[in-house]
Amino acid sequence: MNNEPLISVITPFLNAERFLEEAIESVLNQVYQRWELLLIDDGSQDRSTAIATHYAHTYPRRIRYLEHEGHRNRGKSASRNLGIESSAGEYLALLDADDVLLPHKLAHQLAIFDARPELVMVYGPTLYWHGWTGAKRDSRNDRIHTLGNHEQAVLHPPQPITQYLKNPGSVPCTCALLVRRIAAANTGGFDDTIHDLYEDQAFLAKLCLQGPVLIDTECCDKYRQHPDSSSHAAIRSGEYHPYLPNPARSAFLDWLGDYLKQQHVDDHKLWNAYHSARRPYRYPRLYRLLGPIHYISPWVNAWIGQILNRLPSANR
């Protein structure tokens, strides 16, 4: 009997025929081989359904195909939750259908868990992958998203959430995560009220209240950059922006404030960071003038906060 822990890789997909096969192959090519792959069809209308069922039939003991009742489209949160609920692993890895895992991903992060059994989650930096096109000009734009850390760091609740609020660039990609399944189950998984934007950050916030998180320095995954991704589509529609105030982040911050209150989180640094993150939505004209400078330069944001905090409460 194999006593190595099982890792469940959760991959939701929607009309992903262009990239899905490469994502699946990146799991098949893992150095660590005790895994299961759950492919969750979120109502695809292209060939991705056929691709997923082909792999499930080819590797019936390792790959499973799942879909919502009636082949419905229910969004990323519901799809990932279906995968989590159906999983058998001790650990969870999240892989979107247009991203890939590097071959050492599962082995490397599992070794960290073995050495630190108190952890609920491990993640590291991600390669923002433009060079998948094969063009040299795109490859020159490849960069590793370092999360701001230069050595392994363990953060305890609620430190990671405070860090994410102070520096949105420190938020990891979903493909970077390895999560203890029981911790994810204890939170109820992804929040079904947040479907496709910031659903990952809501999940992270829940996990980061469960126990210690280790931030690693090893890059184990590639986050494909392409114009058809959900984040690029949301930028074009105006629903999201990586630097400027946007409706999706405002809705997420509303959710986060309510969740922290429900969990009776009383941490001075966290709430200071939260109120600082809310300022662009309380003073939209000022922050439209500032543009992305308050994200790029934290000290500018802190200076603005000091000025705004001196205003009479009636003007806030």
Q: Tokens in use for 251?
A: 């809705």
Q: pLDDT: is 316 or 40 the higher one?
A: 40
Predicted pLDDT of residue 313:
45
Tokens 């991203």, residue located: 99
Locate the domains of the chain by residue range.
7-224, 237-315
Q: Using one digit for the tens of pLDDT, what is the confidence trace for 37-95? A: 999 999 999 999 999 999 999 999 999 999 999 999 999 999 999 999 999 999 999 99
Predicted pLDDT of residue 227:
82
- β-strand pairing of 143-145 with 126-129: antiparallel
Residue 282 has pLDDT above 90, yes or no: no
Predicted pLDDT of residue 105:
98
List the single range of 67-81, 94-108, 265-279, 296-310 with lowest mean pLDDT: 296-310
Predicted pLDDT of residue 148:
79
Which among 312, 29, 101, 76 is positioned nearest to 193, based on CA atoms?
A: 76
Coil, helix or strand for 13? strand
Say which CATH class 7-224 falls into.
Answer: alpha beta
Residue 299 has pLDDT above 70, yes or no: no
Residue 2 has pLDDT above 60, yes or no: yes
Integer Cα distance of 226 and 228 in angstroms: 6
List the single range of 62-71, 206-215, 233-242, 295-304 with lowest mean pLDDT: 295-304
Integer Cα distance of 156 and 164 in angstroms: 13
% of residues, the chain, pLDDT over 70: 90
List the single range of 141-145, 166-170, 199-203, 292-296 with lowest mean pLDDT: 292-296
Predicted pLDDT of residue 240:
80
pLDDT band at 111 (very low <50, low <70, confident <90, very high): very high
Residue 1 has pLDDT above 70, yes or no: no
What is the chain's mean pLDDT, rounded?
90
Predicted pLDDT of residue 198:
94
% of residues, the chain, pLDDT over 90: 74
Cis peptide upstream of residue 158 (ω within 30 degrees of 0): yes
Q: What angle do helix axes 48-58 and 20-28 make, rounded to 10 degrees? A: 20
Residues in the chain: 316
What is this structure's pTM? 0.90
**190 and 80 Cβ atoms separated by less than 8 Å:** yes
Taking each continuous run of H as one helix and of E as one strand, the counts in the chain are 14, 12
Q: What angle do helix axes 298-309 and 268-282 make, rounded to 10 degrees? A: 80
The residues, any chain, with a CB within 8 Å of residue 299's CB and separated by 6 or more, are none
Coil, helix or strand for 206? helix
**183 and 227 Cβ atoms separated by less than 8 Å:** no
Which among 69, 65, 62, 37 is positioned nearest to 49, based on CA atoms?
A: 65
